[in-house]
């Protein structure tokens, strides 16, 4: 009977004028051919956007190792409900393996992007760019430049994770023999050189700015590519890749060294030159530090609070209205329901939907300076030994701490970026639908009966600190949740300033130029210059006068300025400092206690497991077996 129905169906198709032969040859819907994909400008542009798509997919922060493994945010692993894939956050707990790598951008797995697939799309685009007959010469030149940038960025992404990578310079023919598909890894020097060559080819033909923002906003510009080049060269010059003794014996099966075996100081100067060139181009296109307080949703607000909102908005302002934002991706930040504490009794009812459980460890809060602009353990005027002692909010701190509320002494007299970045028990949280400062909410986190305190396994912040920086002040969580979307920055001008200061210090040691660019960032944060702050307030006043001391200052500045933005995890890796950060227990407050004396007793919430091998990702065992030319990364 089934055969009979199939015969009838086939006969009807033939009868309707479609020959049986043609029917069997028809391509299914949504399956294109290369000739079709490049038959005209519009179709080719769609393919170009497909080349971009791999990059856009990397913008979800939960799949960004620079975000999840930085020890800036802890996500609990004992939840009854999994709100999202938390595997990236669990990497600091030592769950990585060669059998099933987490965030596997080499082979691709759940949540991870198949970067090699993105590279193949780019190669196909370049190989077929001459086919659209209605594509103008100027547009063709621009598209080629964009695709070369994308190839460079994808290879760079792989280098950051895996070190030596496979350079996909062209596509495989459809009839290529299987053995030719098993390519070898290039050394890191070769890989970085290829990435820089692609960027150098792309930069001259990229537009200086996006003129048609309605249709093209988010596409690559000259200043974006120059800024990425600066970051790539800085990464190559950094300790992880520049003569790293841990990898001196790492070779492929033919005995070829896959890492640079000797330190090359000239790499820092090349990086410094690229940073300065990128800064010059960015500033020429009107990019500058975000220095003007926002006005939307703001009524009667003090100058002190306006400065806090300015620092927050440098991250959460809309891209097209943010003069500091060099580059972001079009995927919005979708996790404000995890970063905003419960501030009203009505908001508590949404605890199982928006759990407010992205927790910041105490060690992250300790990074931020005092209001004198030096570390809390160096400030001669700061009671570091008594920092956990409760103290009552007073008039002098009313813009940051609720008057009459007891909180830790640690929270008083801190720099403005501390109050803009971290939500803490007793801390003012302006916004959430309130426009006047005298009616502003504050965080009440002590004990399960407090509005912001523990509610359930799912909706408990296990440290008592929230990443306030990742919440738009206009977002409202009350009887409903109304987030104001923003794009997570990939590069901000302040980060570029500090990158230049870092590379220049490594190339030349302490100079006035180095201090000038650090102080640009510090001044926006309301702090004095490095030299003045350290000479006046620090127990180590000569620290800025040596390359090593200034290196520590610059690293801490970057960790403060770029906190929670998905950059610091990569910085800590390239500096070879992540192992040190994750060698200590990550602690939070004693959150179930309602009494302030008992609450402010640090408790260990995570014992990280991070070893030397974790600086590079393992390649899946399956991939190593299939391609016998691959060498597994060291120590795996």
Q: Is residue 417 scored above 70 in pLDDT? A: yes
Mean pLDDT value of segment 489-508: 98
Distances from the Cα of 469 to the Cα of 315, 316, 421, 488, angstroms? 7, 8, 4, 11
Please state, in angstroms and rounded to a whole number, the distance separating the CA atoms of residues 498 and 565. Answer: 15
**Which band of pLDDT confidence, cut at 50, 70 and 90, is reported for residue 457?**
confident
% of the chain at pLDDT higher than 90: 87
**Which band of pLDDT confidence, cut at 50, 70 and 90, is reported for residue 502?**
very high
Please state, in angstroms and rounded to a whole number, the distance separating the CA atoms of residues 596 and 388. Answer: 10
**pLDDT at residue number 384:** 98
**pLDDT at residue number 19:** 36
Please state, in angstroms and rounded to a whole number, the distance separating the CA atoms of residues 36 and 446. Answer: 63
Please state, in angstroms and rounded to a whole number, the distance separating the CA atoms of residues 124 and 136. Answer: 19
405: helix, strand or coil: coil
**Which band of pLDDT confidence, cut at 50, 70 and 90, is reported for residue 110?**
low
Residue 296: both structure tokens together: 């939307």
**pLDDT at residue number 421:** 98
Q: Is residue 426 scored above 80 in pLDDT? A: yes
**pLDDT at residue number 78:** 77
Please state, in angstroms and rounded to a whole number, the distance separating the CA atoms of residues 466 and 342. Answer: 11
**pLDDT at residue number 18:** 36
Q: Is residue 578 scored above 80 in pLDDT? A: yes
Q: 485-497: buried (b, 16+ CB within 10 Å) or exposed (e) per residue?
A: ebbbbbbbbbbbb
Longest dimension (CA), the chain: 94
Please state, in angstroms and rounded to a whole number, the distance separating the CA atoms of residues 63 and 617. Answer: 14
Mean pLDDT value of segment 413-419: 98
Mean pLDDT value of segment 512-530: 98
Q: Is residue 21 scored above 50 in pLDDT? A: no
Lowest-confidence region among 25-39, 214-228, 231-245, 604-618: 25-39
How does the average pLDDT of the chain come out, rounded? 93
176-230 pLDDT per residue, tens:
777 767 899 999 999 999 999 999 999 999 999 999 988 899 999 999 999 999 9
Please state, in angstroms and rounded to a whole number, the distance separating the CA atoms of residues 192 and 163. Answer: 10
Q: Is residue 9 scored above 80 in pLDDT? A: no
510: helix, strand or coil: coil
**pLDDT at residue number 111:** 65
- How many other C-beta atoms are found inside a 10 Å radius of the C-beta of residue 532? 14
348-405 pLDDT per residue, tens:
999 989 999 999 999 999 999 999 999 999 999 999 999 999 999 999 999 999 999 9
* CA neighbor of 345 nearest in space, from 443, 451, 247, 254: 451
Q: 369-400: buried (b, 16+ CB within 10 Å) or exposed (e) per residue?
A: bbbbbbbbebbeebebeebeebbebeeebbbb
Q: Is residue 55 scored above 50 in pLDDT? A: yes
**Which band of pLDDT confidence, cut at 50, 70 and 90, is reported for residue 32?**
low
Mean pLDDT value of segment 72-100: 91
**Which band of pLDDT confidence, cut at 50, 70 and 90, is reported for residue 172?**
confident
What residue has token string 């908001």? 347
Please state, in angstroms and rounded to a whole number, the distance separating the CA atoms of residues 533 and 512. Answer: 15
Asked if residues 259 and 163 have their Cβ atoms less than 8 Å apart, the reply is yes
Residue 347 DSSP code: G
For the chain, the 3-state helix, strand and coil shares in percent, each to the nearest 5, are: 45, 10, 45
Query: DSSP of 18-59, one letter per residue?
Result: --HHHHHHPPPTT---HHHHTSSHHHHHHHHHHHHHHHHHTT
Distances from the Cα of 291 to the Cα of 224, 306, 308, 525, 567, angstroms? 21, 10, 11, 10, 22
Mean pLDDT value of segment 492-497: 98
Which residues 6+ apart lie within 8 Å of 122 measured at CB? 51, 147, 148, 150, 151, 154
**pLDDT at residue number 181:** 75
Query: DSSP of 572-636, one letter per residue?
Result: HHHTT-HHHHTTS-EEE--TT--SHHHHSS-EEEE-----GGGGSPPPPHHHHHH-TT--PPTT-
**pLDDT at residue number 81:** 74
Q: Is residue 603 scored above 80 in pLDDT? A: yes
Burial class (CB in 10 A: 0-12, 13-18, 19+), 178: exposed
% of the chain at pLDDT higher than 70: 94
């Amino acid at each position: 009977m089934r055969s009979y129905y199939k015969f009838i169906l086939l006969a009807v198709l033939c009868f309707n004028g479609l020959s049986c032969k043609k029917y069997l040859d028809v391509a299914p819907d949504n399956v294109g051919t290369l000739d079709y994909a490049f038959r005209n400008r519009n179709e080719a542009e769609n393919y170009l956007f497909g080349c971009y798509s791999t990059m856009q997919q990397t913008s979800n922060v939960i799949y960004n190792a620079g975000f999840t493994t930085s020890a800036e945010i802890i996500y609990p692993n004992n939840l009854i409900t999994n709100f999202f894939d938390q595997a990236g956050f669990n990497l600091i707990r030592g769950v990585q393996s060669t059998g099933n790598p987490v965030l596997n951008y080499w082979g691709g797995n759940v949540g991870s992007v198949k970067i090699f697939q993105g590279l193949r799309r780019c190669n196909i685009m370049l190989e077929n760019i001459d086919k659209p007959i209605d594509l103008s010469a100027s547009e063709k030149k621009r598209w080629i430049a964009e695709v070369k940038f994308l190839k460079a960025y994808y290879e760079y992404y792989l280098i950051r994770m895996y070190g030596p990578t496979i350079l996909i310079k062209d596509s495989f023919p459809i009839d290529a023999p299987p053995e030719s598909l098993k390519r070898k890894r290039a050394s890191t020097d070769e890989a970085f050189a290829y990435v820089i060559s692609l960027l150098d080819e792309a930069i001259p033909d990229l537009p200086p700015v996006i003129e048609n923002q309605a249709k093209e906003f988010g596409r690559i510009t000259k200043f974006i590519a120059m800024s990425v080049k600066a970051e790539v060269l800085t990464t190559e010059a950094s300790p992880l890749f520049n003569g790293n003794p841990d990898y001196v014996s790492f070779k492929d099966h033919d005995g070829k060294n896959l890492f640079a075996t000797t330190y090359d100081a000239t790499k820092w100067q090349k990086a410094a030159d690229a940073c300065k060139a990128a800064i010059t181009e960015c500033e020429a296109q009107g990019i500058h530090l975000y220095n003007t307080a926002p006005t939307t949703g703001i009524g009667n607000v003090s100058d002190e609070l306006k400065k806090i909102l300015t620092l927050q908005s440098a991250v959460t302002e809309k891209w097209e209205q943010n003069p500091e934002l060099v580059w972001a991706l079009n995927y919005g930040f979708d996790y404000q329901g995890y970063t905003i504490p419960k501030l009203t009794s009505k908001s508590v009812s949404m605890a199982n939907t928006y759990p407010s459980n992205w927790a910041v460890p105490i060690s992250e809060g300790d990074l931020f300076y005092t209001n004198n602009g030096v570390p809390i353990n160096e400030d001669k005027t700061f009671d570091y030994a008594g920092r956990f002692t409760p103290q009552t909010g007073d008039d002098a701190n009313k813009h940051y701490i609720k008057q009459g509320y007891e909180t830790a002494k640690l929270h008083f007299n801190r720099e403005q970026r501390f109050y803009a970045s971290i939500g803490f028990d007793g801390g003012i949280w302006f916004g959430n639908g309130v426009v006047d400062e005298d009616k502003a909410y504050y965080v009440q986190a002590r004990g399960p009966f407090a509005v912001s305190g523990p509610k359930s396994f799912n909706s408990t912040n296990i440290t008592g600190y929230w990443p306030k920086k990742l919440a738009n002040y206009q977002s409202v969580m009350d009887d409903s949740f109304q987030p104001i979307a923003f794009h997570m920055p990939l590069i901000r001008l302040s980060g570029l300033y500090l990158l230049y200061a870092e590379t220049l210090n490594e190339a030349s040691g302490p100079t006035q130029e180095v201090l000038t660019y650090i102080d640009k960032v510090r001044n926006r944060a309301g702090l004095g210059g490095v030299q003045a702050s350290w000479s006046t307030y620090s127990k180590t006043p000569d620290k800025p006068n040596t390359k090593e001391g200034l290196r520590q200052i610059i690293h801490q500045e970057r960790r403060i300025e770029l906190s929670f933005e998905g950059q610091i995890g990569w910085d800590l890796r390239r500096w070879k400092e992540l192992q040190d950060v994750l060698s200590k227990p990550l602690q939070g407050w004693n959150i179930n206690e309602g009494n302030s004396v008992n609450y402010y007793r640090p408790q260990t919430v995570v014992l990280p497991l991070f070893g030397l091998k974790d600086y590079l990702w393992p390649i899946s065992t399956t991939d190593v077996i299939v391609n016998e030319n691959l060498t597994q990364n060291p120590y795996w």
